[in-house]
Structure 1
Amino acid sequence: MLLSHGGEPLRTADPAARWTAEQVLALAPDEASRRAGSRLGTAGAWSGCGCDGSGAVWGRCRGSDSRPYQTVVDTTGPACTCTCPSRKFPCKHALGLLLVWASGASALPTGEVPDWADAWLTSRRDPAAATPGRGEPGAGGAPATGPADPAAARRRAERRAGRISDGAQELEQRLADLVRGGLAAVDQPGYTLWEETAARMVDAQAPGLAARVRELGSVPASGPGWPARLLEECALLHLLDTAWLGIDRLPEPLAATVRTRVGLTAPAEGPPVRDHWLVLAQYDTPDGRVVTRRIWLYGRDSGRTALLLSYGAAGRSPGPALPVGATIDAEITPHPGAGQLRAELGGQFGAPSPGGTLPPGGSTAAAIRAYGDALRDDPWLDTWPVTLRDVIPVPSGTGWQLADAAGDTALPVAPAALSRPGLWKLVALSGGSPVTVFGECGHRGFEPLTAWPTDTGPDTDTEARAGAGRGSGDLETPSGAVLLI
C-alpha cells in the first residue's frame, strides 16, 4: 500500500532526518489507528528492524498470523508496504515502526537493507529496474503510446458533452418550474424533486451537477432564512448551467473551471513547480462511502498555496498522507482552471524536514478581498485559503469572530467550526493575545485550520509546536503550528 504516488524520490547521500512522534501520528487515518500504532511504537514489538541513510525503515512485527508481518517505509515519500491484511493507509504496523524510528538511533540502528525490504524499495524508487523492458522498444515491452484510437476517444467525449448539455437543459427547465411555482413547496413532506433531478444528472454523466442538486435538498432543513439561501444556490446552479451551454464563448481558463464544476475531470498539466513546501494542514471529509483528503501546502520560494486532493472508497483510506508541520522538497503539477489551486504531487527530493517558512498573513479585510477576487475567476467557489495575521478570537453574540488586533474589522468564524474542539484550542493558544491563523474563508465565514503564536512570525523558520488535521487529536509538532480541527 502506498501513501504517495506520482514522481519518484531521489536517494540522498545525507541521513534522512528523523521525524517526531507527533509528525508520525499526524499520518494516522483515524483515532483507532493512532492508538493501535502507539501500542506498537516500542522496540520490543519488533525484530529484524533497522534503517539506512536514504530514508528506508524496515522491521518485522508479530501479529495474528503465523508469520511476522513485514513492514517497509520509505520516509522520503512517505510511502509504505506491509504484509498485514489491513486496508488502512498507513496501517498500525507502519505507524508503530515509524514511532520506533522517531525515538532515536538506539531503538532502530542503521544497517544494510535486507533482501525482502530492498525488493519493494527498488521497485518504488526505480520502476524501470524492477520491470525491465516495460515501455522499451525491442526489450519485450511496447513503447508508451497515447490512446489507441484518438478519433474514437474524441467521439466518446463529444457524446458525453452532448448528454451533459441535454441534462443541463432539463435542469434549467426544472429550476424555472421551481421558481415559477414558489419555493414553499420544497419544504413539504414527500418532496422528491431533488432526488429525481440528481438521478437525471447522473444519467447525463454530469456528477458535478448531481452533487449540487443534492446539496439543494439539505437547504430547507438548515434553519431560519432557508428560502433566501435556497434561491442563492439555485441562482449559482443556473449560472453553471448557462455557462456550460455557452462554454464555447468563454475564455479557456473559465471554460476549464466550468468543465471541472460539471464533473469532467482534467489531468494535471503545465510545467511542474519545484519548491520547499510546508504542509499547512490535512483533514478528511466523509461523503457517503467516499472520504476526501485535503492537504494544504505553502511554497517557501514561490509563495504559492496548493491543494492536494485524494479520495478513498469502499473502506480504504485516501492518500497521500504527509507529515503536518514538515517541509518537503518536491514538485507539484497544477490542474487547469481559473483560480484553481488543486495540484498533483510529483517527484520528491530527499526526506521531509521538520519546520519551515510560514505563509505571510494579512488582515481580515484583506482575506475578504482575496476571496472576492477569487470569485471573479470561479463564481462557484465555496472557500479560499488565507492566513490572518495578528488576530484575536473574541465572542460575538451566539458565535465567535477573529478581530484584527490593530484595526476595527473582524471575520466571523464559520458555524461549522463553532462546535469543534479546535475553536477552544485556538482561544487557549491566544489567551487574549494576537495569533496567526491559516484557514478557509468563504461566504459562511472563516474556518480556522492552523494557528501559530504571533511571536513565531509568519516569515521565520520555527522549531516549536504543531499538530494534526481534522480528527487527529490534540497533537503538537515542531513547526510552531497548532492544528485546530
Structure 2
Amino acid sequence: MTQQGVRWTADQVLALAPDTASRKAGSKLGAAGPWSETGSSDEGAVWGLCKGSGSKPYQTVVDIADAAGPAYKCSCPSRKFPCKHALGLLLLWAGGDGAVPAGRAAPEWAGPWMAGRRRRAEEKRSGQSGGSPSGSADPEAARRRAERRAERVTAGAVELEQRLADLLRGGLASVERAGHGLWEETAARMVDAQAQGLAARVRELGSIPSTGPGWPVRLLEECALLHLLGQGWLRRERLPDGLAATVRSRMGLPASADGMPVRDHWLVLAQYDTTDARLTTRRIWLHGTGSHRTALLLSYGAAGRAPEPALPVGLALDAEVSSYPGAGQSRVALGEQFAPPVPTAARPPGITVSQAAARYGGALREDPWLESVPVTLGGVVPTPDGDSWQLADADEDAALPFTPAARSRPGVWRLVALSGGAPVRVFGECGHQGFTPLTAWPEGPGEAVALC
C-alpha cells in the first residue's frame, strides 16, 4: 500500500485485532517510545524492533501489500494473529508522522521472510496460470460418492419428517419436558446422515422452547421451514435449477464457485466473526463499485482462531469473484487479485426503508430459508424504540427495528453518536427480525465507521 502513497486509518488497523484485549494492548504500542529501527519499503513491508520485558527486542514485520490482506511475523511468543506488536507497528505506520521512514531496504531479519512470501506468491500465480492437473481425480468414483451421500441425506430427511410428525402429534407441551437432549439426539442423527444443514437447523429448534412469550409460535414457524427444506430435498428433481441448488446448499452439501468471474473494485462494507464450540465463521461483505453488486465472502477457522483473509472496512480491492450456485445467493469466492487493498472514499448507494423491506420479501421467493439480505439505507436516523432502537427514514413514515442481536452491541452507541440526530447512511442485514447495522457513514464527508 505504500507504493500507492496511501495509508490505513487507525480504525482499519484495529479492525484486524483478534479480540478486545489485543486491540487495547496494540493501541498502547502505537507510539514511538518502545520502537526502534522502524522502516517501510516500496514493496509494501513495514518492520521494527519493539522493546519488551526481555533483554532482546521483538522483531516485527508486516506484509501490507499482500492482496489477500496483511501477513505478520513477530518473534514474540504470542499465538494471536496479529499480535499486539504487529498492531502497534501498523498504528505507528498509519500515523504518517515519519515515525516509520519510507523507502528503506528491509533488515536481515525481515528480508528473507519477505522474499520468501514474494517467491511463493509468484509460484502460486504461475501455477494458477498453468492450470491445475487434470485426470488426478476419477470422475466415476466421484459420481458414486455423490450418489451414496445423496442416499444417506435422503434417509436423514425421511427420518426427520417422521420426527416432526411425531412432535406435532404429541403436542408442543412435550417439548419443554423433553429438554435440549431431544434436539441434540436428532441433530446427531442428521450428522450421521451427512445432512449438516438439517443438523444445524435442528439445533436452532432446541434453543427456542421456554424463551419467553410466543415461543410455541416461533417453534412452529421454524418447524415449518425445516419441513419445507426436507420436502424440497425429497422433490429436488422437480425444482428449477436455481432453487434446487439452493436446497442442496441449505442441506449442507458442498459446492464450488463455478460462476463467471467478475472483476471490479470491491469496497469492503463489513467484516465480522461468529463463533461456536466447533469453528469460527468470518463474513466479509463487498460492494462492487462498477457492478453495483453486493457479495459475501465466507471463511472458516478452528474455534478460537481467526479465519483469513482479514479485510477491514473502508478498503477496496481490485479483484475477481466467482459466484456459488443457488437462486439469489450472495456468496462468492475470491479469485485473482490485481493489487493490494487500499483505502477508499467510495460508498454504496442508499435505498429507503420501504425498499429494503421489499428487497427482503423478494429474496424470500428465491430462498425461503433466507435470514436476511444486505442493504444500505440512505438518510436514516437512529431513534429510540421503547427499550431498544430503530432506524427511521428521514423522507418517509417508515422505520426498521434493530434485531435482538444488535441491541446489545456497543456499535449502537457509536451509530447514535455519529448521527447526533442527523441522517446517516447505514449498511447492514435486513431480515424478519429487523435490521442489524454493521457500518455507517455521515451524510457529509467522513470515513466509514465499523459498528460490529
Q: Distance in 2 between matches of 1:251 and 1:360?
A: 32
Contact 2:232 2:247 in 1 (8 A): yes
- Residue 256 of structure 2 corresponds to 267
Q: Which runs of 5+ in 1 are unaligned?
A: 1-11, 457-463, 465-478
Cross-structure match for 1:469: none
Structure 1 pair 44–397 and aligned structure 2 pair: CA distance change class (3 A): closer
Please give the alpha-carbon distance, in whole angstroms, between the structure 2 residues aligned to 1:428 and 1:179. 48
- Report the secondary structure of 2:93's partner residue: helix
CA drift at 1:145: 3.5
CA distance 1:198–1:299, change in 2 (3 Å)? same
Q: How does 1:272-351 map to 2 (within 5 A)?
A: 272-351=261-340
Number of equivalences: 448
AA aligned opposite 1:124: R
- Residue 105 of structure 2 corresponds to 112
Residue 95 (structure 1) aligns with: 87
Where structure 2 has 5 or more consecutive residues not aligned to the other structure, the ranges are: none
Kept after mapping to 2: 8 A contact 1:449/1:483 = yes
| Counterpart in the other structure of 2:187 | 198
Residues 393, 430 of structure 1: 8 Å contact kept: yes
- Percent of aligned positions that are identical: 64
> For the residues of structure 1 that align with 2:80 and 2:295, how far apart are their CA atoms?
25
Change (3 A) 1:303 1:144: same
Matches within 5 A, 1:4-403: 14-63=3-52, 68-77=57-66, 78-82=69-73, 83-104=75-96, 106-109=98-101, 110-114=103-107, 116-127=109-120, 144-188=133-177, 190=179, 192-403=181-392
- Between 1:61-70 and 1:221-230, the stretch displaced more is 61-70
- Which residue identity does 1:111 align to in structure 2? R
The 3-state SS of whatever aligns with 2:444 is helix
Q: Which moved more, 1:306-315 or 1:369-378?
A: 306-315
| 2:38 aligned counterpart, secondary structure | strand
Output the CA distance in 1 between the equivalents of 2:82 and 2:13.
10
Which amino acid is the alignment partner of residue 100 of structure 1?
A: L
Contact persistence 1:76–1:348 (CA under 8 A): no
Letter in 1 for 2:206: G
RMSD, matched Cα: 2.7
Q: 1:271 to 1:189 in 2, by over 3 A?
A: closer
Distance 1:484 1:314 in 2: 23
Q: 1:290-335 CA distances to partner (integer Å, 9 max, x unpaired)? A: 2212111111111011111122214311221112122222222222
* TM-score, length of structure 2 as denominator length: 0.91
2-side partners of 1:130 and 1:398: how far apart?
Answer: 56
The residue aligned with 1:425 is 414
| Contact kept in structure 1, 2:243 and 2:327, CA below 8 Å | yes
**Matched-pair contact (CA < 8 Å) for 2:270–2:312:** no
Offset of residue 399 of structure 1:
3.2
Bigger relative contact order, structure 1 or 2, given CA contacts below 8 A and separation 6+? 1
Q: 1:169 to 1:79 in 2, by over 3 A?
A: same
Change beyond 3 A, Cα 1:65–1:172: farther
Measured against aligned partners, the alpha-carbon deviations of 1:99-150 in whole angstroms (never above 9, x if no partner) come to 222222621222123455343334434437669998999xxxx973354322
Deviations 1:422-444 (A, max 9, x none): 22332333233222211110000
